[in-house]
Amino acid sequence: MVTRSRIARRMDHIPFQAIRSVGEEVAKLEKQGKRVIHMEIGRPDFDTPAHIKQAAKDALDQGWVHYTSNYGIPELREAIAEKLRVDNGLEVDPNTEIIVTVGTIEGILMALLATLDPGDEILIPDPAWTSYQHCIRLVGANPISIPLTEEHGFKPRIEDMEALITPKTKAMLVTSPHNPTGVVLSKEELEQLADFARQKDLLVLSDEIYEKLVYEGARHYSIGSFPGMKERTITINGFSKAYSMTGWRLGYVAAPKELIGAMIRVHQYCTVCATSFAQKGAVQALRGPQEPMYTMIKEFDRRRLMVLEYLSQIPEITCVRPQGAFYVFPSIKSYGVPSVDLAKYLLYEAHVALTAGTFFGTYGEGYIRISYANSYENIETGMQRMVEALKKFKKINKP
């Protein structure tokens, strides 16, 4: 028996990943033979495009089985620098300003470890991807919630952020397109955030993992490309979502060389380098044909519209129209129950797995996240079941 004292205090407030634990309840139902529709998952359901897989297979056959440079293979760093210049308007030196990481999440943790001291504060959107707050706590820093409210289109407001600044505020985190709301910030909105960061002398961590998944003409902008922002921005991105490469565990950070100099020491003592042959695949992801990605985006858009159509049939539900990522985040406040209870009801009654909004932060209460990273047919079945189950729920819960 391992005693409690064996576990570091810092782990006291670090829970097991919540979305995965929903998965455990789902697994129980599936074991009983129930057909659960998965709409809780945050990964594309597509295969990695064939040319990317082939490049990794070839690399293995060619002996790419050893450590690479800690920064990543030069060929990939060059491809990333070119991508950042063309797509994002960021001028980055591939030799000194990029590190290839083991997923975007390593980039986030590295950035936090390298820049925040215990007790420092970082402003993060709330709701937001759950891992941010836990990574921040692991570092000993404090996440400070910027409320994202439906009333304001789930967009951060400068006046709210002003009120949260203390002498300990050192950084802010921006995610656009956003998980779980699917909201994409406009150029003007990002410019306002950039102004704020400059005024308050904040470092900016910009998580751009969903940049390619935008719809209805929405455009992604990199905050680090705005005037005076390069020196204070760590741009974090990866291959998981745009190329359906979640299992490859590949991402990258781009930042001024002084920040890279600190982050590389975290990376060096944690993972050494990203997987060698996976990096060869990633070169092809950036330099090879982009059609498979556009086909995937088109399909996501078709599903997004279908989910919105079903939600519009439920008068009790309101919804900010998402223009990015693969999530919809409708309000379920009118049902008068905590989002966890409604998600559980839908799981057991309709066999539809969704994520309760509270998993994404305090301000996520009253919402559920629907992920459309599942086949059109499955999602349609899930949405039909959901509509029926919610009608029933309304009858049962009539005051």
Ligand X SMILES: Cc1ncc(COP(=O)(O)O)c(C=O)c1O
Smallest distance, Å, CB 238 to ligand X?
Answer: 3
> Is residue 150 within 8 Å of residue 156, measured between CB atoms?
no
> Is residue 357 within 8 Å of residue 148, measured between CB atoms?
no
How many helices (H) and strands (E) would you count in the chain? 12, 12
The 3-state secondary structure of 310-326 reads: HHHCCCCCECCCCCECC
The span from the first CA to the last CA of the chain, in angstroms, equals: 50
> Is residue 92 within 8 Å of residue 81, measured between CB atoms?
yes
Smallest distance, Å, CB 38 to ligand X?
Answer: 14
Instruction: Measure the CA–CA gap between 45 and 43, rounded to whole angstroms.
Output: 6
Smallest distance, Å, CB 207 to ligand X?
Answer: 5
Q: What residues line the site for ligand X (CB under 6 A)?
A: 42, 103-105, 129, 175, 179, 207, 209, 238, 240, 246, 251
Smallest distance, Å, CB 48 to ligand X?
Answer: 13
Smallest distance, Å, CB 134 to ligand X?
Answer: 13
Smallest distance, Å, CB 393 to ligand X?
Answer: 29
Smallest distance, Å, CB 179 to ligand X?
Answer: 4
Closest CB to ligand X among 293 and 314?
Answer: 293
Closest CB to ligand X among 237 and 339?
Answer: 237
H or E element that contains 155: none
Closest CB to ligand X among 68 and 179?
Answer: 179
> Is residue 215 within 8 Å of residue 323, measured between CB atoms?
yes
Closest CB to ligand X among 307 and 325?
Answer: 325
Closest CB to ligand X among 104 and 358?
Answer: 104
Smallest distance, Å, CB 246 to ligand X?
Answer: 5
293 alpha carbon, distance to own chain's centre: 18
Q: Which residue's entry shows tokens 């205090």?
A: 9
- Residue 247's CB is within 10 A of a number of other CB atoms, namely 11
Instruction: Measure the CA–CA gap between 116 and 65, rounded to whole angstroms.
Output: 34
H or E element that contains 135: helix 131-139
Smallest distance, Å, CB 396 to ligand X?
Answer: 34
Closest CB to ligand X among 304 and 351?
Answer: 304
Sign of CA dihedral 124, 127, 128, 129: positive
- Closest among 246, 233, 118, 217 to 174, alpha carbons compared: 233
For strands 37-38 and 352-353, give the pairing. parallel
Closest CB to ligand X among 107 and 292?
Answer: 107
| Residue least distant from ligand X (Cβ) | 103
Structure tokens belonging to residue 24: 């455990």
Closest CB to ligand X among 104 and 133?
Answer: 104
Instruction: Measure the CA–CA gap between 240 and 77, rounded to whole angstroms.
Output: 17
The DSSP result for 196-233, as a single string, is: HHHHTT-EEEEE-TTTT-B-TT-----GGGSTT-GGGE
Smallest distance, Å, CB 103 to ligand X?
Answer: 3
Closest CB to ligand X among 223 and 314?
Answer: 223
Closest CB to ligand X among 124 and 144?
Answer: 124
> Is residue 127 within 8 Å of residue 330, measured between CB atoms?
no
